Structure 1
C-alpha cells in the first residue's frame, strides 16, 4: 500500500463511535470513608426530529456501587463553559473522584497525572460530566449520505445560546432514561459559560422534557442574560480589584492588616453607595466629589491616584492586570489574579498573555488524556478538545437568567447556589452577587438563593483549601435541598 493510502486509511478511522460504553470499577476514600464506584465512559447520540443521529456526545458517569436504592440518590449533571470548553476542568479538578497532580495553590507539578480527591461529592451524589458538541471527544456526525453539515447548519443545530440548551435537554432526557434515574433528585452544575447553559436548561428541562430539578449550581457565573453595563459594570469591578491588591500586598497598611473579608465588606459598601453614583454622574460630577472618589478608588484598588484620574475613574480589567505590578515587571492573571506573568515590555495597557491559563493547560491536558485512557480504559485516536471549534456562537435572545427565575417560581423544590473566587477577573465575584440579587427582583425566593466566596480565582477548587470548602458547600447544598419524605412541592399562604 502506498504512503498516501495508509494516511487516508488512518484518517477515515479517526472518528467517534456514535453509541458506546466502557465500564470500570474502582474504590476510593472520601472524607475518611471507603466507597466503591463505577466509571462509565462513553458516547450517546444527539438525534434530530427525524430520528437521525446528528452528533455524539462523550461523557463520563460516576456511580456509587455500594448504594442499593438508586431512586433516592441525587444525580449531578455537570457542564463547563467557554462556550467550546470540555468538561475536563470540573471533572479532574473539582467534584470527581480523581483530581490533578498540582501543588496546594493550584500550580502544575510533574509528573503530570491524577490523584485521589478526598473531598469529592461522590459520597452523596452520582455525577455525569457532559462534553457538548466539538468539546472533549464529542463530534458532529455526517448525514445519511456521508456529508458533513455546513458551518451555518451546524451553528443552527448546536452553536448558540438556545440551540445549545435545546439539544442538551434532549440528550439529558435520553441519558436519564437509559440509566433509570427519573426518580432521583437532580442537580445541574455549570461553570463560567456553563452557568448560562444550566440556567437555560433548568426551564427547558421542566417545560419541554418535564424533568424537575432540586438545585442549580452556578460556578463563577456569567451575566446569564442579566445586563450590567455602563456604571454598574465599572463599579462592580472595584471589590475584585481590592481583593487582588490585598493578595499582592498593594493596599495601604491599615487595609492590608485587615482580613480579606473585612476589607471586601468595606469596599462593597463604597462601590454600591458612593462609587456607582459618582460614575453615573459622568462629566457633571462635582470637583470635590470627584477628588474624594478618586482617592478612595486608588486606596481600594492599589493603583495610583494619577492612574485612576487618567482613566476617568473607570478602570478597565486589562489595564488593571497590566498596571498593578508594572513597577515590579510583572502582570497578573485574568481568570486568577494570583498568577504572575512577564511581558516583553512593561509599557502598554494589557498583558501579552494570560499567565493562569497557560499554567492550567500545563497540568490539565496531560492529566485528562492519560486518565481517560490508562485508568478508565477509553481508547480512541480522536484528539481530546480542551477547547473546540464552536464559533461563531449565536448569543442572541439570551434569556437564561429569566428562565432560571421562572423555573424556580414554577418549582418550589428548586434552589440555586452561586460559587465564586475573589481573585477571578473574568467573571468577578461581585458581578456574581449582583446577578443573584437581580435574579429575583421580587425577593420572594431569596431564601432559595445563596452565595459562597473563596480565596482563589475562576476555578477556585484548584487551591487545596478551597477544594475542601467548595465541595463541602456543595455537599451541604445537596443535603439541604433534599425535601423530607412526603414534603409536597407547593407554596403555602
Structure 2
C-alpha cells in the first residue's frame, strides 16, 4: 500500500533522544544490556491536523509516543509505541477505540495505513501486486475519526516497541503476558487522557482478535474493571484447537470447505448456488454440506466406503473445484496449502492464502504447495515504506530504532490459565468473549470477515463464537468481497468503515 504525507502540522517534541533497549534479536551481550541507559522521559511528538471523515470536517491532534510500562517500584520495563488521534475540543465522554494488529509480532501499520488512520496507502484493488516506490499516500475519508478517537497500539517486540534495560522481552511474549501489557497500557492511557468514563471499543485484526479476547479477560475479568461497549473482530481467529492441522483433527477440513467453495467460484472452477450467483449463497450451501454431510462422513474414518464415499467425494469436488481423482488421492482431506497449488494448476498459477483472489507463479508447476503467498508479497513493501514515511515526516516521530513490521518475536507462550490445566492442550480464547458478554450486558461484538481469507476463514470464526456459553444475540457478522485484509479493496474499505460506524452509533 502506498505512502501518505499531508496536512500541515505543528510538532511539539517533548523528548527526542531515543531510548536504548535490549534487543534480543540482535544478540547483544548481557553486560551491554544491563549497561544500556533508560532515560527518564519517553519520546513524544504532538502534531495538529484536519481532515474530512465520514463527511465531517474534523480538526484533530495526533500524538505519536512511547509509553513506559513500569514495575511495582516504578522502574521502566518496556516501552509501547502508539499513535493517538483525538478530536480537538471534544469532551471527555467522546468514544475512544483501541486497535492493534496481529501476528503475533505484527505492528499496527496495516489497520493504521490501510483502514482507519486519517491517511492511507493506495494500492491496486484488483489483485495486482503493489510494485515499487514511491507509493501514493492519500487522505482517508473512511477513517472513523468522525465517530471515535482512535489509539493504534504496538505491543512489545513490534514496530518501535521494545523491552528496556535488562528486561527479557519474553516476559511480554505470550497470550496472557501480552494481554497484561496491553491492559496496563490502556489503563495508563485512560488516566493520562481523562477518558475513564468514555464509551470504549477494542479491536484487532487476525491474532489481534485473539489479543482482543485476552485483553478483555484482563480488563473485565477483575474487580478493577475497564468495561467495553464493543469489540471489533476483523479476520477472526479464536479457537486454535479447531483449526490445528494435525493428524486426527477433522475440523480444519470441515471449516475450510466454504472458503474453498467461494474461491473456486471466484476463479471459475465451480458453479453458483441455485439460490444466488454471489459468494454468500454458495457459502451458505457449502456450510450445510460441511456440517450435515462432510463432518459425519469424516468421522467414519476408514469405514467410509462404497456409494456413501462416492457421494461425498462428488459433492466435495463440486464445492472445492478439485477433481474427484485428486480428492480420492488426498483421502477426501485437502489442506489449504495443497488447495492453493492445485486449484489453478492447469493454468500454471497458485492462489493466495491471505486473499485467494490474488494469484502468482511458482518456480515450477510440479510442487505440492506454493513457493510463497502472492497475496502477502503483493502488499508488504508499500505498507512498510508508507508508514515509515508518514510517521517520520508528518507525525515528526523519528527514533533511531528500526520499525519492525512483522517478526522479531520468537518462543511465544501459548499457554492459557484455567480449565484445570486442560487449556494447555486446546488453545481457545473464545470463552473469554463469552464471559465478557455474560457479565457486561452493554457489550456487543462485530465480526468482520473476508470471503477469500484462508488465514482466518469465516466459517471458523462463526464456529468458535457459537459454542456453549457464548451469548449470540449481541454478536453481528459482516462479510466482504476480499480476503484477510478486506480493506485493500476500496469498496470494501468503505463498507467496513460504514459497518463499524453503524455498529458504534447503535450503542
Same fold by TM-score greater than 0.5: yes
- Counterpart of 1:187 in structure 2 is 201
In 2, are the aligned partners of 1:329 and 1:342 still within 8 Å (CA)?
Answer: yes
Q: Deviation at 1:458?
A: 0.4
Q: Which of residues 376, 392, 396 is equivalent to 2:395?
A: 376
1:215 equivalent in alignment to 2:230: yes
- Counterpart of 1:114 in structure 2 is 137
1:451 equivalent in alignment to 2:456: no
User: SS at 1:220's partner residue?
Assistant: strand
Q: Deviation at 1:253?
A: 7.1
- Counterpart of 1:173 in structure 2 is 187
User: SS at 1:446's partner residue?
Assistant: coil
In 2, are the aligned partners of 1:200 and 1:401 still within 8 Å (CA)?
Answer: no
1:407-461 superposed Cα distances (whole Å, 9 cap, x missing partner):
22111111111111110011111111111212xx256x22111111111000111
In 2, are the aligned partners of 1:18 and 1:44 still within 8 Å (CA)?
Answer: no
Q: Which of residues 337, 357, 382 is equivalent to 1:363?
A: 382
Moved more, 395-404 or 73-82: 395-404
Q: Deviation at 1:480?
A: 1.3
Aligned pairs (5 A) from 1:260-339: 260-339=279-358
Aligned pairs (5 A) from 1:14-163: 19-65=42-88, 67-71=89-93, 73-105=94-126, 107-108=129-130, 110-142=133-165, 148-149=166-167, 153-155=168-170, 157-163=171-177
- Counterpart of 1:432 in structure 2 is 461
Q: Deviation at 1:86?
A: 0.3
Q: Distance in 1 between matches of 2:37 and 2:305?
A: 66
Q: Deviation at 1:228?
A: 5.0
Q: Distance in 1 between matches of 2:196 and 2:397?
A: 27
1:20-47 superposed Cα distances (whole Å, 9 cap, x missing partner):
3211111111233222111110100011
- Counterpart of 2:441 in structure 1 is 412
Q: Distance in 1 between matches of 2:241 and 2:201?
A: 22
User: SS at 2:465's partner residue?
Assistant: helix
In 1, are the aligned partners of 2:107 and 2:155 still within 8 Å (CA)?
Answer: yes
Moved more, 376-385 or 96-105: 96-105
Q: Distance in 1 between matches of 2:275 and 2:362?
A: 27
1:351 equivalent in alignment to 2:370: yes
Higher percent of residues as helix: 1
Give me the TM-score of the superposition, normalised by structure 1.
Answer: 0.88
User: SS at 2:473's partner residue?
Assistant: helix
Q: Which of residues 442, 451, 474 is equivalent to 1:422?
A: 451
Change (3 A) 1:154 1:134: closer
Change (3 A) 1:421 1:18: farther
1:277-322 superposed Cα distances (whole Å, 9 cap, x missing partner):
1111111124111101101111111111111111111110000000
Moved more, 251-260 or 187-196: 251-260
User: SS at 1:70's partner residue?
Assistant: coil
- Counterpart of 2:12 in structure 1 is none
1:222-276 superposed Cα distances (whole Å, 9 cap, x missing partner):
1345645522221110100011111111114777982222211211111111111
Q: Distance in 1 between matches of 2:140 and 2:221?
A: 36
Moved more, 233-242 or 102-111: 102-111
Change (3 A) 1:195 1:202: same
In 1, are the aligned partners of 2:85 and 2:149 still within 8 Å (CA)?
Answer: yes
In 2, are the aligned partners of 1:58 and 1:136 still within 8 Å (CA)?
Answer: yes
Q: Distance in 2 between matches of 1:379 and 1:258?
A: 50
User: SS at 1:217's partner residue?
Assistant: strand
- Counterpart of 1:461 in structure 2 is 487
Q: Distance in 1 between matches of 2:465 and 2:241?
A: 10
Give me the TM-score of the superposition, normalised by structure 2.
Answer: 0.86
